[in-house]
Structure 1
Amino acid sequence: MAPITRSSVHGRPTESESISRHESSYPAEENNGEDDQDMAEDYDEESAEEGATFPPLPLYCFRHSHTLCPPYNLDCQRSKMLISTAGLQSPYQYSAQDILRPLQDTADRVSRQAEEFAKQLDKFNINRETTDQSLWEDALVLLERFSTIAHARQQKTAVDDFDGQLDKIQLENDLWILARNLLACKSPETVNNAQIAQESRLGDLHRYSGNTELWASFLDSDAVAQEYECILSWLQDRAAETSEPIEDLLHTLTEKSERGDGVWSAGPIYTQAAIKQQKRTRVWSKPLDPSAPGLKRTHARPSDNKSLVAQLDPDSRTRESAVLQDQDEFHEQAVWQTCWEMLRRGRTAAEIQSWWAERKEVWRYEALRCCGPKASEMAESPWLRILNLATNQEWVDRCKALAHNTAIADRYQKAVYGILCGDGEASRQASEVIDDHLFALFNALLIERYQHYIQAYQKKLVEPSAVAYRPDSDAHDHIRQYVAKVQSAQANKIESHLPHKMIELAMVSRDFDAFFLSMGRAAAHVAHATGQGYEMMNPSTAESNEISQLNAQDHDSARMVVHLQLILQALGFLDSVYAENEYEMENNIVSYINFLQSIGRFQLIPLYASRLSDKRAQHVLGSILIKVKESKERDTIVKLMKKEDLNLPEIIMGVFSLANIDDLQKLRNKDLPTPPRITTPGGTAKFAVRRVKPQLMTGNVSEAVENAVRSVEWCRYVDAESWGGAAWCVSSLYKIFLFKGDFVALRQLLDRVSLSEISLAAVGMNLNFADGDPPIENGGDEDEDMDEDRVQPMSPSRKRRDPLADHPLTRSGTDRETLAFKSLIWRQLEQLATAIDTLDIFQEAADNLEANRSNPSLLRTYKRDLKKALDDVRTAIAPLLDNDFLSQPQDNSDEYQLRVIRNHYIPECILAYNSVLWFAGHFVSRAWLVECMELAQRVAEVPMLTNAFVEGKRMKELVRAFAVDSEALLQANEQSGPKAKKMKTEKGNSDIWKVSWKEQGPIDLEALD
C-alpha cells in the first residue's frame, strides 16, 4: 500500500507524487533510494554481535488472574512427527542450537527492528514549533520509514508463518501509512490551503463546470473531507490486499447457480428458459403478459410454487412481486455480493466496466457509477460513483428508496444501494468485520459533506456573490460513539482483541487522548500484574479495559504506540492530555523502555528516556542502569545520555538512591544499629590480646550488595561540578556497610570504587591526597627496610584545617582543594575500610605462620608475607591516629553518624593493631613490643582517640591490652652474642624499656582495671 496524501481526481497518486513540495529538513541519507528498501536488512557488525537473546515473556490473563507460561514446547508436534518417521531421522540427532534456532531468530529480528526504529526516531528533530511545516514534513518522512521497516519484515516473514503473524505485520505496515496520510491532511500547509480554497474555489465554478472539477474543488476546500477520503482509500486498499479473490469468495453461490465453468453469459438464464417455454406453449410472439389467465398456475417455481417473473427487466421482481428460478436467485445473490465487494475494494470505474462487460451485464456498471457522465479522466478513480451524484439527484433518491424497500430481501443489494447514496444504515447490513463498518460510516460521511458542497454550489449559481464556502464541522464525536459501539459488539469481540486493531480505531476516530491514556494505565496494570518493570511505574488506580491490557502485553503494539505517541506529541496533538495526565501518558514510553531492557538493548534506552520529563527520566534510568555491568557498555550509554542532553548527575544520584532506598531511610534514623565488632577475645595470660575475627572480609557477595556497589560505580561519570553528590553517595554507602557490619560488602566497595580511580576518571585528579601531594617514596636501601629491629615512625598528623564556611558538598569551585574537601569523608571512610582490610589480611598471615611454625620450608615464606602485611597495616592505621579523623562532619546528621562510627571502629582498630604489634613482637622482632608502648602513648596524647575509647566504653579493654603488652616487653630477654642487633627507634635508644624481670606467675589483669 503506497503512502498517499489524498486521492487526486485522476485516482490515487504515486509515491513520488505524495512527497511534499517543500524540501524536508529531515537528515539526508546516502543512497536514500536503496536505504529505504534495505533499512531492516543492513546492520553493522557491531549491531549484529549485540543482538540479544531473550525468552518469551509470560502473558498475563486478566480475566482469570493468572500468568500463562511461555510456549517453550512449540516444537513438541514436530518431535512427534519425527518420531513417527523413525526410519528417516531421530529427533535426538537435533542439537540444542537446532531446537532453539527459531527462538534465536525471533529474538534477533525483534532486536534489530527495535534498533531500526530507534535509528529513525533519533533523526527526528522535535525542537521546532508545531506550526513549522518542516516539522510536519519530517514527521511524514519518519512515518514512511517506519512503514518501510515493517514492509521489510513482512517480506521476510514466511507465508506459512504461525497464525496471525503475517496479518499482524501487514496491518502494522498499513497503519503507518494511514498515520502518515492522516497527518498530511492536518499539516499547517494543508489546512492553510483549504482555508484559501474556501474563499476562492467555489467562486471559480460556473454552471458548465463538470463533475470532476466540482469534486476537485470540494476536496481542496474541505480538509475534513480529505481526511475521510483518505480513510476510505485506506480501507479500500486494505480490503483489496487482504481479502480473498471475489471468485473464491463466491464459489458456493456460483456452484448453486449451476452456471458451470467457463460460461460467461450471465443473467437469469433459467427463468428466461421458463418464460420462453410459456411463450412457446401459448404461441405468443409478444412479451409474456403477467396478467394472462392461468399464468400464475403454470408459470411457477417448482421448489415453492411461487410465481415466476414474466419479464426480465432489472426491477421485474419488485414490480411484479414475483421471483426467479432458484439457480437465478443464487446468481443474483452472487451478483450483488460482487457489486458490494467491488465497491468495498475500491475497484476503479474501468475495472468495474471490464468485469461486467465480460459477463454481458454492462448495465450493472452503469448503476454502480450512478448513471452519470463517464468522465474519462476519472476512469482510474474509485470516486466516479460519488462525483456523479452532483448531476443525478434523482438517482440518489431512488437508491435511498431501494435501500429501505422491505420487498428487497438481499442484504448485499440493500448495502450497495446504501453505498451509492451514502445511507450508512443500509450499507452496514452487509458489514461483517470492523473495517466494513468503518467503510460504511466514512462513505456516508464523505457523501454527506459532498452534498453539502453541492448545495453551496447550487446556491452560488443563483447568488453569484456567495463565493465563500464554510464546511460543516467534523463528526469526530459521532465517529467515536460509533467506533465504541462496534468495538463492544459481541459479533466483533474477537476481532477487536487482535493486536493493532485498537490503534486503527484510535486513528480513524482521532480519539488519541483517550487511547494513549488507556494504554498508559494498562501498561501500569500489566507491569504490576506480571512483575516486569513494576518498579518504574506506580500502580494505576484507574480502570483499564481488557483490550488495552492485551495490547500493552504485545511488544509490537507497544512499539507502535510509543512511536506514534512521540510523533503526535511533537506535533502538538497531545498537549491537553499531557498537561493533565503526564504520568500515565509517559507509562507508554516507560513500558517500551522496559521492553528494550528485557532484550538487552540498553544503548537505545537514553533516546526514549530523553522523551520523558526530567524527574521521570531520572527514576526510570535509575532503575535500569543498575543492571548494566560492563564498563564498555556503560561508556556507550553515558555518551548517548550526554548526546540526548540528559541530566547525568541527577540520573546517577537516582541510580544510587533507588538501589539503596531502604538503607538510606534507615541511615537517616538516629536510632542506628550497633555495628558488630571486628575483633574477638584471645586466650589468657600470654595470649590475652584481642584478635581479628577469622575471614572477616571473606564470603559470598549477595545480589543486594552487588547492586549497591554497582550503583556507585556510576560516580566515575560525574563532572567536577557534581563531584560533591558523588562523594556523598559513596560515603553514605560506606556508612551503610559499616553500620550493618557487612565487611564482605565493605571489601567489594573498597576494591571497586576507590577514591583514586574514580576521581581520576571523573575530574582528572587523584583526590586521595587532600593537599595534592602524592606519598613520598622511601629513599632508604633494601637492607635497611629489611632490618627487623628498625621501627619506622608513623606519619605525623597533618595540620588541622580551618572549618569551611559553607557546606563542603555545595561549595562552588572545581579546583583541587575544593574537590578534595568534598571528598574528605569519603577518603577517611575509605581509610577506615582499608585499615580493617589490612588487619584482616595480617590476621590471615599470622594464623598461617602460627599454624606452620614447625615447618621450616614454609616458615620463611609465611614470615615474609607477615612482614609485608605488617607494613601494610602500619601504613593503613596511620590516618586513623590523626586527631581530625572522622571529626569534620558536613552537617548535623553527618556529625552523629561519624561519631557513632568513630566511637565503635576506632577502638576496634586500635585494639586489633595492638594485637598485630604484639604478635610481631613475638614472631618477627621484639622491637615491635616497644611500638605497643608508643601506641599507648599516642592514644593518651590524641583527644580523638581517648574520647573514642571513653565514649565507646572500651577503656577497660585498652588497659588490659596494654598490660599484656607490658608483661610481654618486661619478659623479653636481651639479645646477646656477636651478631646481636641493637633495638632502635627514631626517637632514640630504647634503653628506657630495659627492665629486669623475674617471672613469679601469671599477672593479675583484673587488679589492673
Structure 2
Amino acid sequence: MTRAQVKQKKMSGFGVSTATTAIVRTLDPDAPLRENASIHSEDAEFDRALFRHVFGLLQSGDYEAAQQVCETTGNYTITAAMNGMVEYRDPVLDGVVLNPEETIARGTKRKALWRRMCLRLARAPQADKYERAIYGLLCGDLDSVLFVSESWEAHLLAYVQHLAASEIETYLGSNDRINLASQELLAFPQSQASTISDILNVLSRSPSPIVRAQSEHPLRHIQGGIITNVVAKIMQDARQKLESVRDEIEDSNILMDDSYLLRFLAHLALFLKSIGVDAGGNEDAVAVLKFYVEDLAICDKGHLAPLYVAQLPEEAAIEAYSFLLADISDPKKRAEQFALADKFDLDILNTLRRTIQRVFDEHEDEYPAIESHTELDLTNESPADQQLSNSLLWFVDARMWDDVVDSANALYLRFLLSGKVKSAENLHAQLANSQLYDVLNDFEEQVDYSMAEIEDAHFPGTKSRAEFRQYEGLILGVGLIRMWDAVYTEKVLDGDRAWRLKAKDVIDRVKPALVDLICGWMTGGFEADKVDAIHRLRVLYIPYLLLELHRVLQQGQAVHKSYPKDALEMVNLVASEELGIYKLLLEGERLDEYLVDIASVSLVVGADSQNGIWRV
C-alpha cells in the first residue's frame, strides 16, 4: 500500500515536493526516520507483527531464527544491526582458528559505536515500539525493552543485559578504550543495579503489578537463588518447610500443597549433582529427595520412585523406599517393585526389614495389653491389623523365611497380648496360604543342612520356629472350638444319629488338642526379654482354653454322657503343682468361674451315676 501511494504521488507531481506529508516519499528502510513520516497503516500493522515476532525470538536467544526472518522479509537494516553483535576476531593476529573455513578477519571492531547506533534507534520516536525494543535488546537499553515487556522473566533479561552493557562501557572507559566524557559520543545510561541481587530486589518493587506479583511466586525465588548461587540456602529452607509439616509444627505450606515445587527442587538437586555442582549441604538435598519419593508414594506414583531412590545414599534410600513399600498390599504391585528394585540395584532385603519395622512402629500405640479375659476379641479385625498382617507378605514374596517367622512371632505376640484373637487367626490363615509351611515342614524333616545352606535359604532358627509352632497350636485350638460351635448349632432337639457321629468326631479332636495346649502351651525355652510377655499370654489363654474345653465337654452330653465325666476328671490336671494351672486361674481371676463349672458338671455326673460322683 505504501509503494502504491508513493508511485501515485510521483505520477501526479507531488513526489518532488519538499513539504512534510503523512506518507513517506521513498521506500528505503531509513525513510520514516529521515523524512519524519510514516508508512501506510496496513504496512505498519504488518511491520509491528513482524517486529514483535523478531523481538520474541531475540528474547528467547534464537538469534539465527530472528536473522533468517529478517532476511526473508527484506529487513536488512535489522539483519545488519544483528551482525554487529559478532565479536571481532582475526585468525592471523589471534593465532587461533575457530573455523578452518574462516581465514579472514570478521566481526565488529567498534562495538561502542555500534552500541550507540542501536541506542539512538531504540530512542527514535518515529519507530514502532517493537522495532525500538529490538535495537534496545541488542545494545542493552532498558527503557525501550521494558516498555513492551510484561513478564518477570522479560524484565529480568532487560535489566541483566543493561547491567552487562553498562559494565562493558565502564570497563572500556577506565581502560581508555573510549572517552566517556566526550560531548560527541552519545552517553550510554549507567545501570542503577550493580549486582543480580540488586536486580531481583528492583523487580520485587517493580511499578508493574504483574511483575511484582510474579516476583513473589516460589519458583521465582528458586530461580533467583540459582542465579545468585545460593542453592544451598534454598535446599536448607525447603528441608525446614517440609520437616515442619512432617513434625506437625504447621498444617501445610507451599511445598506440601503444590507438589510441582517439590518435584522441581528434587530434579534441581539431581541435575546439580550430575554436573558436579554442590547443591548445598548433602543432608538437605538428600532430605528434599526423600520427601519427593514419599510424595510419589502418596500420589500413587510408586512405579516412578525406585529411579529416585537409586540416587540416594544407602541409608537414606532404605528409609525412603520403605515409606513407599509400607502401604503396598496388592500382589501385582509388590511384584512390580521387586522388578524395579532389581533393575536399579536397590538393597531390597534391608529395605523390606525397614518396611515391616516401619509398619510395626506406626501402629504400636494401637495395641495396649488387655487386663482381663473379658476383653478378648474373637470377632473383629481392624484395618491396622490387616496392614500389619499384609506387610509380612513382603518377606514371603522375597523368601526371607527367617524374617517371616521372627516378624510373625512378634505380631502374634502383639495381637494376643491385646486380645485380638480374630486378627491372630487371620494372620495364621494368610501365612498358611503361602509357601511358608511347606518350607518349614521340609526344613524340619531334614537334619543334614549345613550352616551355609541355612543362611543362604534364610531358614529360621530353632527357638523362633518353636515359638511360631506354639502360636500355630493356639490358633488351631481356637479353630477347633469354633468348629465345635458350628456343629453344636446344628443339633436338633430329639437328637440325630448322623449329627451325634459328626459331633463325636469333632469332640474327639477338640479334647486332646486342647488338653495338650492347657498342659504344655508356651512352657519354656524363650528369650529372657520375652518371659514376662509369654507368662501374660499363659494367664490369658490357658484359663480360656480350659473353660472352653469344659463347655465343649458339658455340651457333649448331648452326644455321650461320658464327656461331662471327662470334664470333671480335668480337676487332677488343674490341681497339679507341676503344671501350675490353678495358679494361672487364680492370677487371671477365673478360679471362681472354674469352680462354678466344676460344681455344675458334678451335678450332671452325679445325676447319671448310682454312686454319685465318687466311684468305689
TM-score band, normalised by shorter chain: 0.7 to 0.9
Aligned counterpart for 2:331 among listed residues 612, 631, 653: 631
How far apart, CA to CA, are the structure 2 residues paired with 1:363 and 1:666? 79
Paired with 1:510 and 1:627, the residues of 2 have a C-alpha distance of 39
Deviation at 1:323, TM superposition (A): 5.4
1:340 and 2:55 matched: yes
Aligned match of 1:370: 84
CA distance in 2, matches of 1:655, 1:944: 41
1:907 paired with 2:543, answer: yes
Describe the shift of the 1:638–1:827 C-alpha distance in structure 2 as closer, same or farther (beyond 3 A): farther
Alignment correspondent of 1:578: 282
Partner of 2:181: none
| 1:748 aligned onto 2:454 | no
If asked which structure has higher relative contact order (CA below 8 Å, sep 6+), I would say: 1
The answer for the alignment partner of 1:91 in structure 2 is none
Percent identity between the aligned chains?
Answer: 16
Q: 1:909 Cα shift?
A: 0.8
Task: Map 1:318-357 onto structure 2 (within 5 A).
Answer: 324=38, 327=41, 330=44, 334=48, 337=52, 340=55, 343-344=58-59, 345-347=62-64, 351=68, 354-357=71-74
> 1:573 is matched by which residue type in structure 2?
V
Choose which of 827, 831, 835 in structure 1 pairs with 2:469.
827
2:615 is matched with: 995
Match of 1:676 in 2: 374
Return the alpha-carbon distance in structure 1 between the equivalents of residues 121 and 295 of structure 2. Answer: 52
The answer for the alignment partner of 1:412 in structure 2 is 130
- Secondary structure at the aligned position of 2:107 is classed as helix
Question: Could you tell me whether the CA contact under 8 Å between 1:519 and 1:549 is conserved in 2?
Answer: no
Judging changes above 3 Å, is the alpha-carbon distance between structure 1 residues 270 and 415 closer, same or farther for their aligned structure 2 residues? farther
SS at match of 2:63: coil
Shift of 1:866: 1.9
Deviations 1:35-64 (A, max 9, x none): xxxxxxxxxxxxxxxxxxxxxxxxxxxxxx
Shift, 1:707, TM fit: 1.9
Match of 1:239 in 2: none
Instruction: Name the residue aligned to 1:848.
Output: 490
Give CA deviations for 1:161-195 in whole Å, capped at 9, x if unaligned.
xxxxxxxxxxxxxxxxxxxxxxxxxxxxxxxxxxx
> How far apart in 2 are the matches of 1:373 and 1:651?
57
Task: Show structure 1 runs of 5+ residues with no match.
Answer: 1-258, 281-287, 289-294, 302-307, 376-386, 460-476, 529-536, 679-695, 774-811, 975-990, 997-1009
Q: Cα RMSD (Å) of the superposition?
A: 5.3
Q: Normalized per residue, which structure has more helix?
A: 2
Partners of 1:364 and 1:813 in 2: CA distance = 78
Amino acid in the other structure paired with 2:615: V
Say if 1:912 and 1:884 are closer, same or farther in 2 by CA, change over 3 A. closer
Q: 2:507 aligns with which of 870, 881, 903?
A: 870
Whether 1:881 aligns to 2:518 is: yes
- 1:970 CA displacement: 4.3
Counterpart AA for 2:559 = V
CA-to-aligned-CA distance 1:5-40 (integer Å, 9 cap, x gap) = xxxxxxxxxxxxxxxxxxxxxxxxxxxxxxxxxxxx
Q: Deviations over 1:742-769 (max 9, x none)?
A: 3332321221134x956457xx433996
In structure 2, distance between residues paired with 1:330 and 1:350? 20
Q: Which residues of 2 match residues 456-471 of structure 1 at below 5 A?
A: none
Q: Are 1:394 and 2:113 matched, yes or no?
A: yes
Can you give the 5+ residue segments of structure 2 that lack an aligned partner in the other structure? 90-105, 178-193, 448-453
Separation in 1 of the partners of 2:331 and 2:470?
A: 27
Among candidates 560, 570, 581, match of residue 925 of structure 1: 560
Distance 1:848 1:374 in 2: 105
Q: How does 1:151-162 map to 2 (within 5 A)?
A: none
Deviations along 1:298-333, one digit per CA (max 9) or x if unpaired, are x476xxxxxx9999987788789x555885994797
Q: After superposition, where does 1:268-287 map in structure 2 within 5 Å?
A: 269=6, 277=14, 279=16
Secondary structure of 1:925's aligned partner? coil
Shift of the 426–515 alpha-carbon distance from structure 1 to 2, 3 Å rule, reads farther
Q: What are the Cα deviations for residues 962-991 of structure 1, in whole angstroms up to 9, with x where unaligned? A: 3444444444459xxxxxxxxxxxxxxxx9
Whether the aligned pair in 1 keeps the contact of 2:405 and 2:460 (CA below 8 Å) is no
1:664-703 pair list within 5 angstroms: 664-665=364-365, 672-676=370-374, 697-698=378-379, 701-703=381-383
The answer to whether the 8 A contact 2:119-2:135 is kept is yes
Alpha carbons 1:675, 1:740 under 8 Å: kept: no
Retained in 1: the 8 A contact 2:9–2:15?
Answer: no
1:177-188 equivalent positions in 2, closer than 5 A: none
Change (3 A) 1:523 1:954: closer
Contact 2:84 2:107 in 1 (8 A): yes
In 1: Cα distance, 2:158 partner to 2:419 partner: 73
Alpha-carbon distance in structure 2 between the residues aligned to 1:269 and 1:432: 37
What does residue 138 of structure 1 align with?
none
Contact 1:389 1:396 in 2 (8 A): no
- Residue 454 of structure 1 deviates from its aligned partner by 10
Q: Give 2:594's aligned residue.
A: 958
1:340 alignment partner AA: F
Distance 1:971 1:995, change over 3 A: farther
Equivalent of 1:729 in 394, 407, 410: 407
C-alpha contact 1:522 1:544 (8 A) present in aligned 2: yes
1:372–1:392 Cα contact (<8 Å) kept: no
Maintained 8 Å contact 2:396/2:436 = yes
Count of aligned pairs: 574
Corresponding letter in the other structure for 2:483 = I
Compared CA separation, residues 279 and 954, structure 1 to 2 (3 A): closer
Question: Which residue does 1:59 correspond to in 2?
Answer: none
Quote the offset at 1:873 in angstroms.
1.9
CA contact (8 A) 1:767 1:820 kept: no
* Displacement after TM superposition at 1:402 (Å): 4.9
Query: 1:821 offset after TM fit, Å?
Result: 0.5
Which of 573, 585, 592 aligns to 2:296? It is: 592
For residues 944 and 757 of structure 1, what CA distance do their matches in structure 2 show? 37
DSSP 3-state at the match of 1:716? helix
Q: Counterpart in 2 of 1:705?
A: 385
Q: Say whether the 8 Å CA contact 1:738–1:901 is kept in structure 2.
A: yes
Cα distance in 2 between the residues matched to 1:738 and 1:757: 22
Name 2:341's counterpart in structure 1.
641
Contact 1:663 1:736 in 2 (8 A): no
Deviation at 1:839, TM superposition (A): 1.5
Q: Deviations over 1:194-237 (max 9, x none)?
A: xxxxxxxxxxxxxxxxxxxxxxxxxxxxxxxxxxxxxxxxxxxx
Q: 1:388 to 1:885 in 2, by over 3 A?
A: same
> Does the CA contact (< 8 Å) of 2:329 and 2:391 recur in 1?
no
2:163 is equivalent to residue 432 of structure 1: no
Q: How does 1:762-777 map to 2 (within 5 A)?
A: 764-766=439-441
Distance 1:641 1:905, change over 3 A: same
Question: What do the CA deviations read for 1:240-265 (whole angstroms, capped 9, x no partner)?
Answer: xxxxxxxxxxxxxxxxxxx2xxx7x4
| 1:11-410 matches, cutoff 5 A | 259=1, 265=3, 269=6, 277=14, 279=16, 288=18, 299=20, 324=38, 327=41, 330=44, 334=48, 337=52, 340=55, 343-344=58-59, 345-347=62-64, 351=68, 354-357=71-74, 362-370=76-84, 388-403=107-122, 405=123
Kept in 1: contact 2:231–2:280 (CA 8 A): no
- Match of 2:108, SS state, is helix
Instruction: Encode CA deviations 1:502-561: one digit per residue, 9 max, x unaligned.
Output: 988887777655666676677779xx7xxxxxxxx545759955xx667x345xx76666
Question: What's the TM-score once normalised by structure 2's chain length?
Answer: 0.72
Q: How many Å apart are 1:863 and its aligned residue?
A: 2.7
Partner letter of residue 584 of structure 1? Answer: V
User: Which shifted more, 308-317 or 568-577?
Assistant: 308-317
Counterpart for residue 836 of structure 1: 478
